[in-house]
A and B are shown apart, each in its own frame.
Chain A
Amino acid sequence: NAGVTQTPKFQVLKTGQSMTLQCAQDMNHEYMSWYRQDPGMGLRLIHYSVGAGITDQGEVPNGYNVSRSTTEDFPLRLLSAAPSQTSVYFCASSYQTLGGTEAFFGQGTRLTVV
């Protein structure tokens, strides 16, 4: 049981480049989300999804796109990378139940934009 898998673990981009951060979970979780964590700061929600075909914006969605074509995958796309997007990105997933359940996080992707 792999849990939540993020790829790549590290990435360096040049300003203006685009890329996709991959996130996959094998726990049949309906809820998936992406967070960014800047040095010394908390987890800020970028986008989230409550099921296949459904996505919505979080606190800091600008510059990012997501899609949810399957229950398992929730990729995050950076359209035109900027230095301000240098951060550690975490994907998380959880079951949908009344009242909320434990969120399982991936190991993170450290992205540097130069």
Chain B
Amino acid sequence: GENVEQHPSTLSVQEGDSAVIKCTYSDSASNYFPWYKQELGKRPQLIIDIRSNVGEKKDQRIAVTLNKTAKHFSLHITETQPEDSAVYFCAALKTSYDKVIFGPGTSLSVIP
């Protein structure tokens, strides 16, 4: 399985500001990088993912960038809103048969 580190562990931003969460991985063969959002008391849900043949992917206010050389990928949230407050998890996989090990999570608080 892959080893994923995630930073920061907690992040507090003012509403309207941007938030960036970074993950690093150890296995250069990893090629699938999902991000999950878990609101308080809820189940984790996929918000965006990226594959190794793409450097950046956007979905409205959310984007993910991938640097394969440096083995890190980042989640970018622009124009943050209070409903963005949640814990965010990243993962890195080589194949769908990999055991899915998540990063330790980042608790994001958006202050109105």
Q: Are these two chains actual partners, yes or no?
A: yes
B96 near A42: Cβ-Cβ < 8 Å = no
Nearest first, the 7 closest Cβ-Cβ pairs linking A and B are: A100-B32, A100-B93, A105-B43, A42-B105, A42-B104, A102-B46, A99-B32
Q: Is A70 an interface residue (CB 8 A)?
A: no
Query: Which residues of A from 25 to 62 have beta carbons under 8 Å from B?
Result: 31, 33, 35, 41-43, 45, 48, 50, 56, 58-59
Q: Which residues of chain B are within 8 angstroms of A50 by Cβ–Cβ distance? A: 97
B34 near A105: Cβ-Cβ < 8 Å = no
B43 near A98: Cβ-Cβ < 8 Å = no
A43 near B93: Cβ-Cβ < 8 Å = no
Chain A interface residue number, banded: 20 to 34
Chain A 12-35 per-residue mask, 1 if CB under 8 angstroms from chain B, else 0: 000000000000000000010101
Q: Which residues of chain B are within 8 angstroms of A94 by Cβ–Cβ distance? A: 96, 100
Q: Which residues of chain A are within 8 angstroms of B101 by Cβ–Cβ distance? A: 45, 58-59
Chain B 35-53 per-residue mask, 1 if CB under 8 angstroms from chain A, else 0: 0100000011110010100
- A-B contacts, 5 of them at CB < 8 A, read A92-B100, A96-B97, A97-B96, A98-B95, A102-B34
